[in-house]
């Protein structure tokens, strides 16, 4: 998909209805008799025809067991599979050997944490020494992390005797390099944090944290799920040691995620999963493992998913990530401005005038987030409700749940305004008494419980 290159950067909005949205069949439907406004791309993005067609074409004409056998069909499938790896590598400023396929970003982060646990248990030999943790060592996260970038480190600390510490957030749910500097120190071995918060849209000071961590010899693990799909990202330039992101959040298939790691680190990290395709020599007593990336890719590969993810990247490249970013920056400003005008609504995160990703989580006092979501659903607007896999952050902010709207390249200004208008109707619809919310929610959805 290549849009009109004569259009000015940031001018995607004018092109979206015909040139872009037509490529997304999912968006061409109604919800409760209203045109669908899909504002849940932070959870999962919709797929363009190019991605659907690429995965279908692979399954119909090229499907074979990659890296197994010497037939023409296997060679063809393997070529497509490894070409997909190369496509991903170029997209994020990496070498091919620095890209490992995973099931999703959660799986990718666990590959690192479990590998470090194995190294700490004595596996991997001397090469794995940089990953060994024990009593007195510290793992640093932030109070804003998605559970996928928190629980694996909790478990690693419990397994190794290391201490888990966290960078505190302020009353907006954001944090600073200064806050990081107050926690990262000589005992820090790992610093893990999100490039972009999936709740507040906060953009982390990655370069500052990398400098702090590396000054103490610590490894940096970046959750890039909410950044790679939406802005140009170069892991090599950022200087992180590991990073993870998911295909389904960037127009690609489910069941495919990416672990990035510096080549020498991946070659030394014990593999979290073992079996076929990962080994060089196996005896009844022991096994020796291949270099990265294959040492981590045990069993049957997600080949059609990798091909689909490569197609998604080519689609995004056809638009231009600078233009994607510009479009979403404009939507983020509009989203925050529109929400800020709605009386009685609490916007989570920084207010107008502060850069953020194109997402906004809100609290409607007196109305549970699930009820807010059901009312929006009745108006044809799809959003995310709940704690967004970030319970500690919500607890710090005194909230049990929020309602989140998140935009992507196919989102229009009209959809953002529809969201804000409907949000402004919620309190009046439910009334000041939150106890009436459940009954009203059923009314709003035509009697569905």
Q: Quick one: pLDDT at residue 391?
A: 97
Q: Quick one: pLDDT at residue 41?
A: 98
Identified catalytic residue from 389, 436, 438, 442? 389
Give 448: exposed, middle or buried? Use CB within 10 Å, 0-12, 13-18, 19+: exposed
pLDDT band at 438; cut points 50, 70, 90: very low
Q: What residues have CB less than 8 Å from 188, skipping those under 6 apart?
A: 137, 138, 139, 140, 165, 213, 216, 218
Residues of the chain with CATH 3.90.1150.10: 12-48+321-444
Tokens at residue 385, please? 């409700």
Of the ranges 18-22, 46-50, 266-270, 415-419, which one carries the lowest mean pLDDT score? 18-22
Instruction: Check: pTM over 0.85? Answer yes or no.
Output: yes
Distance, in Å, from the CA atom of 414 to the CA atom of 104, rounded to the nearest integer, reads 32
| Residue 12 pLDDT | 52
- Domain 12-48+321-444 class? alpha beta
Distance of CA 158 to CAs 129, 166, 406, Å?
19, 15, 35
CATH of 62-317, one of 1.10.10.10, 1.20.1260.10, 3.40.50.2000, 3.40.640.10: 3.40.640.10
| Strand, coil or helix: 430 | helix
Q: How confident is the model at residue 1 (pLDDT cuts 50, 70, 90)?
A: very low
Whether 225 is a known active-site residue: answer: no
**Nearest one of 300, 323, 322, 367 to 77, comparing CA atoms:** 300
- Residue ranges, CATH 3.40.640.10, the chain: 62-317
Average pLDDT over residues 281-298: 93
Alpha-carbon distance of 228 to 323, in angstroms, equals: 14
Mean pLDDT along residues 283-299: 93
**Pairwise CA distance, residues 23 & 21, whole Å:** 5
Residues 190/218, Cβ–Cβ less than 8 Å: yes
Mean pLDDT of the region 112-132: 97
Residue 18's pLDDT band (cuts 50, 70, 90): low
What does the mean pLDDT of the chain come to? 92
Specify the 3-state DSSP secondary structure of 116.
helix
Give the tens place of pLDDT for each residue, 77-113.
899 999 999 999 999 999 999 999 999 999 999 999 9
Model confidence at 423: pLDDT above 80: yes
- pLDDT tens digits for range 313-340: 999 999 999 999 999 999 999 999 999 9
Top pLDDT among 300 and 170 is at 170
First to last CA, the chain: 41
């Amino acid at each position: 998909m290549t849009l009109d290159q004569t259009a000015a950067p940031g001018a995607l909005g004018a092109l979206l209805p015909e040139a872009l949205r037509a490529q997304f069949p999912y968006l061409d439907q109604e919800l409760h008799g209203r045109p669908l406004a899909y504002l849940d791309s932070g959870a999962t993005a919709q797929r363009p025809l190019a991605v659907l067609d690429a995965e279908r074409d692979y399954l119909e004409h090229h499907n074979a067991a990659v890296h197994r056998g010497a037939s023409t069909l296997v060679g063809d499938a393997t070529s497509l599979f490894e070409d997909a790896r190369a496509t991903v590598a170029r997209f994020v400023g990496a070498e091919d050997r620095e890209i490992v396929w995973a099931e999703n970003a959660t799986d990718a982060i666990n590959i690192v944490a479990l590998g470090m646990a194995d190294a700490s248990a004595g596996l991997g030999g001397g090469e794995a020494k940089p990953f060994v943790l024990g009593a007195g060592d510290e793992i640093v996260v932030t109070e804003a992390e998605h559970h996928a970038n928190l629980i694996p480190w909790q478990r690693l600390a419990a397994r190794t005797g290391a201490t888990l510490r966290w960078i505190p957030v302020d009353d907006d749910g954001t944090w600073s390099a200064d806050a990081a500097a107050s926690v990262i120190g000589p005992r820090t071995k790992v610093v893990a944090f999100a490039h972009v918060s999936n709740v507040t849209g906060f953009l982390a000071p990655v370069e500052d944290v990398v400098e702090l961590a590396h000054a103490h010899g610590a490894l940096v693990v970046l959750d890039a799920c909410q950044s790679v799909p939406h802005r140009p990202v170069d892991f090599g330039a950022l200087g992180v040691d590991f990073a993870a992101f998911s295909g389904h959040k960037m127009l690609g298939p489910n069941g495919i995620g990416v672990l990035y790691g510096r080549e020498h680190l991946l070659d030394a990290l014990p593999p979290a999963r073992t079996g076929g395709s990962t080994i060089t020599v196996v005896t009844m007593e022991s096994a020796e493992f291949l270099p990265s990336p294959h040492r981590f890719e045990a069993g049957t590969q997600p080949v059609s998913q990798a091909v689909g993810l490569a197609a998604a990247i080519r689609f995004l490249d056809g638009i231009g990530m600078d233009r994607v970013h510009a479009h979403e920056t404009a939507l983020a400003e509009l989203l925050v401005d529109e929400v800020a005008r709605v009386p009685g609504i609490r916007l989570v995160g920084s207010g107008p005038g502060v850069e953020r990703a194109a997402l906004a989580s809100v609290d409607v006092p007196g109305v549970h987030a699930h009820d807010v979501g059901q009312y929006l659903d009745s108006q044809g607007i799809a959003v995310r409700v709940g704690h967004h896999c970030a319970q500690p952050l919500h607890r710090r902010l005194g909230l049990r749940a929020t309602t989140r709207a998140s935009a992507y390249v196919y989102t229009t200004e009209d959809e953002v305004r529809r969201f804000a208008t409907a949000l402004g109707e919620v309190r009046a619809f439910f009334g000041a008494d939150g106890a009436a919310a459940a009954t009203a929610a059923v009314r709003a959805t035509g009697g569905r419980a």
